[in-house]
């Protein structure tokens, strides 16, 4: 990717807005925006549609022939490769007669990486790279990580009291945060590929674990895949999370075959993973590799406490969203994150590029963590 750090031009800013609007529907393709400009006027702007449909550049250039125009696109245009389902955008751009293309960032996909830029330049098209690169890189972090590592981008989420508790000593947790915070979380659920919880949370809360964002119609997003970690086979077959179908149960060889078969009959997919080192759960790194191979670009980990602790202790979290309510639970209330295995302050996970938002009476603290960075 380009290391250039330039300000975002007004035309690229519009293309980025278009890309953001498509974030909930394009996966496993990247969410891309494109804009056609001619003599300072916006002729057309579009974004990538659902997987298998036309890409942003193709949508923007459809029916247009403006050789003196400039095409702005947030990501390097795609090229031909084995298994590709749509016409390469480089070919569409070349056929359109466009003489100048402004690209935000290079595509990290090894099948494309730099080849689209080369093809355009070989066709006599002027190509500029780096407009809006920082903003676009931030927007495409899940896609970039998946293409670089084969692993999902993992976001940890919890809602807690100001003293870090996610439930009282009796297990009461609905609702710690207010309506605005909950709706913000549902909007995040609406764009990720998968939501993950442990069997303890699935049993105690019996959640449907679906995305229910306000002001978004069903056609504006795709329901995420629901994933339950259940190493020993505890989840009841009548759990809400199994209906409708589209649930993965990640378990270990310790769970009974009859239990696995019963869940399969309910439409669940079973993934058998190696046990964790302590034998009480499953191998999380192996699970992430399997999910990545299934084109899961982004994973929203909602808990519970032990699951979040395991992910953090193994340095598997890329980003944290902590919804904090101005209440104090105290006492024997359940902590948001169990032990991370660190013994000194120097070892504890630290957030980078922290953002704090006020959501009515609550606060959202979010930032990047872990070793990976684009």
d(C-alpha 125, C-alpha 102), whole Å: 10
- Both tokens of residue 216? 């978004």
Q: Annotated catalytic residue: which of 6, 17, 37, 57?
A: 57
In 287-374, where do the E strands start and end? 298-303, 319-325, 334-335, 352-359, 362-368
d(C-alpha 167, C-alpha 335), whole Å: 8
Place of tokens 């927007």: 139
State the DSSP H helix or E strand holding residue 36, giving kind and residue range, or none if neither. strand 33-38
Place of tokens 């807690």: 160
Pairing type for strands 225-229 and 247-251 reads: parallel
Cβ-proximal residues to 351 (8 Å cutoff; 6+ apart), any chain:
320, 365, 366, 367, 368, 369
d(C-alpha 111, C-alpha 66), whole Å: 29
Q: Quick one: three-class SS letters along 293-307? A: HCCCCEEEEEECHHH
Pairing type for strands 362-368 and 319-325 reads: antiparallel
- Both tokens of residue 54? 């036309």
In 219-279, where do the E strands start and end? 225-229, 247-251, 269-272
Long-range contacts of 6-13 (CB under 8 A, 24+ apart): 6/130, 6/131, 6/132, 6/133, 8/131, 8/132, 8/135, 9/72, 9/102, 9/131, 9/132, 11/35, 11/37, 11/42, 11/70, 11/72, 11/102, 12/72, 12/74, 12/102, 12/104, 12/131, 12/132, 13/132
| Count of residues making up the chain | 374
Whether 126 is catalytic:
no
- Both tokens of residue 39? 């003599």
| Residues designated catalytic | 57
């Amino acid at each position: 990717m380009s290391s250039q750090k330039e300000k975002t031009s007004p035309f690229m800013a519009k293309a980025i807005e278009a890309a953001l609007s498509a974030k909930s529907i394009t996966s496993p393709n990247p969410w891309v925006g494109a804009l056609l400009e001619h003599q300072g006027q916006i002729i057309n702007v579009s974004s990538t549609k659902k997987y298998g449909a036309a890409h942003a550049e193709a949508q923007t250039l459809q029916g247009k022939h403006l050789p003196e125009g400039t095409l702005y696109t947030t990501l390097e245009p795609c090229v031909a490769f084995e298994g590709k389902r749509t016409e390469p955008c480089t070919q569409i751009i070349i056929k359109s007669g466009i003489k100048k293309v402004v690209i935000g960032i290079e595509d990290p996909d090894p099948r494309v990486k730099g080849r689209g830029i080369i093809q355009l330049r070989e066709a006599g098209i002027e190509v500029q790279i780096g407009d809006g690169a920082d903003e676009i890189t931030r927007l495409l972090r899940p896609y970039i990580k998946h293409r670089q590592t084969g692993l999902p981008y993992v976001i940890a989420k919890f809602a807690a009291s100001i003293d870090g508790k996610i439930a009282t000593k009796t297990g009461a947790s609905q609702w710690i945060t207010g309506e605005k915070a909950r709706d913000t979380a549902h909007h995040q659920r609406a764009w990720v590929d998968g939501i993950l919880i442990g069997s303890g949370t699935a049993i105690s809360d019996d959640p449907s674990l679906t995305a229910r964002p306000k002001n978004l119609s069903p056609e504006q997003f795709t329901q995420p895949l629901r994933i339950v970690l259940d190493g020993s086979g505890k989840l009841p077959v009548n759990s809400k999370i199994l209906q409708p179908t589209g649930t993965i149960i990640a378990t270990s060889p310790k769970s009974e075959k009859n239990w696995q078969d019963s869940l399969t009959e309910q439409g669940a997919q079973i993934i058998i993973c190696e046990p964790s080192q302590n034998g009480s759960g499953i191998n999380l790194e192996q699970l992430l590799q399997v999910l990545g191979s299934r084109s899961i670009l982004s994973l929203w980990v909602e808990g519970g406490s032990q699951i979040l602790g395991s992910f953090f202790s193994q340095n598997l979290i890329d980003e944290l969203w902590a919804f904090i309510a101005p209440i104090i639970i105290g006492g024997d209330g359940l902590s948001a994150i169990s032990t991370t295995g660190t013994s000194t302050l120097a070892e504890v996970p630290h957030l980078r590029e922290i953002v704090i938002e006020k959501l009515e009476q609550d606060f959202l603290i979010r930032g990047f963590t872990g070793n990976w960075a684009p």
